[in-house]
Structure 1
Amino acid sequence: MRRYQYHFILAFIVLFALACIYLTLGYVPARASLLYGPPARTLSVSDRIEYSTRLLSHGAILTTPLDPNGMEQSFRIEPGESIYSVANRLEESYIITDAQAFYDYVVYTGLDLTIQSGDYTLSPALSTIDITRKLQDSTPTDINFVVLSGWRMEEIAASLPTSGLDISPESFLDAAQTPPQSLNFLPASASMEGFFLPDIYILPRTTTVDQLLESMARNFSQHISDDMRAGYTAQGLGCLSSGHACFPCRT
């Protein structure tokens, strides 16, 4: 009888062990792969099991936004910054719910190796997984548009295709024939030729041609006195951006 009980207990232990092995080596990784995609190829078998288990333990944290009504905010990743630091700062900035869940996900997927330094616009209305995907693209939200001293409209227009702005040279030249409201002291017949100050203009990538010209016009207006404005209006003169030398506005 005792021998029978011993064999029964031994068989139970073996079956239990086999079930645990199945769950560990089979079900857990398969379930994690189904929910979060395949693991990184660089992970060892033991790491795959470990991180698969971790992901499943996080439940819905990875797929649920911290704040569905949250506002966008700027977030910068410094060159050489560790994933631990990025994860912790995301949580401290109230962008994600849990730094450990973020870390486990990016290591499991291998995305920790492709997150780039740069400036991002992130929102707690996005899930942790969606935020991780956004961190794969470090394209800046703003660009520096440079106007060099002495450049005429044609030269500014020629620089647009490589500027990062979605503005064609043709649309720029056409729109520049009508000065923005910021230059309302100019004669009606004047174009913007000569009213582009050499400067570095920090602009969103989504800037339109009208917004670009308005930004340039405001910059010019901020650098001239009221007496100069009155002089342009009275004499119908334009002012070259290089050296502020004056010439009659074209008709």
Structure 2
Amino acid sequence: MENKLNNLSNEQISGRPRRVTNEASFTRPRRLILFFSAAALVIFLAAGTLAYAYYELHTPVNKNNIKAVEFVVTKGQGVKEIAWQLADAKLIRSAWWFKVYVWYKNQGSAMQAGKYALGQNFNVPQITEVITGGKVVLNEVKITFPEGFSNKQIITRLSEQGLPQNGELDGENVDDYQVQYKFLSDAPAEVSLEGFLFPDTYIFDRDDKSSAIIKKFLDNFDKKLTPDLREQISRQGKKIYDIIILASIVQQEAIGEEDMPLVSGVFANRLRLGMALESDATINYVTGKKDRQALYGDLKIKSPYNTYLNRGLPPGPISNPGIMAIKAAIFPATTDYLYFLHPLDGPTVFSKTLSEHNQNKAKYLK
């Protein structure tokens, strides 16, 4: 009896560990599954967050909008304020992600005050690079004006850069500057400055008013028209204004600088003989066209600048000539030519008589 009880007791005791072992074997895989599931979830969330962060940081607001806008960082501005300012200007997608990026890169103290040219096609790293690199927009602008540009073309090119600030360049006349610039003294009062805005490359301040811009043009003209050239004009008994009128026509008519003295010689001969200049360039000035040879109907337009209908020089320059055209007007080539034409392809063809000119027209202008 006692042995049976001992055996029963041993069986019960020995059976308990077996049940515990079975439960442990069942629980361990569940814990592993939960662990790896949680780890996978964390990795998934982290990957998603990183992907979203990358999208927010590296995707521009509008990659197709390349127009630059001025963005100003003032002295003492913090990252938070700059971030909200960028967001308000629609230059970044999220102020929060901008702040995170700057914090992560430890560039908060590197932000520099100044004017910057930013666009919606910039992403956050690019914007940060510009501002921390101090790549400020200079308050100066360099503009090139080709020889032969009219005042209208000059005004258009200036306005493309937001100049002048007062927007009144087209209202500037000769009489506003005649006292300061003696070369304007023989120009009629109240005419435009056409012809005297010397073509060149200039550096302007973005805050320049019209008077400051005009002064740079006229200062350059004053320098280029040397005392020797003025003396030559005076010796010939001519006026600077008339020389500039002729030079402006030569500038437009000549194909290249090598043509200018001969073209000027043709016009000088026609003026001496009392013939009309018959310059197609003056017709283009009236019509606004760029025809190498004016249309027949345009030759009948009534205008003081129509040198087919009116003899002598037109009342004013038709462009702003360069120094070579001015020199050609002062020193025209000695020639017997009275006519010239521009073939569709090839150099200028000159003629001494109308008959020869008509033959050349039939030959070269088919």
Per the normalisation by structure 2, the TM-score is 0.32
> RCO (CA 8 Å, sep 6+): is it higher in 1 or 2?
1
Structure number having the greater helix percentage? 2
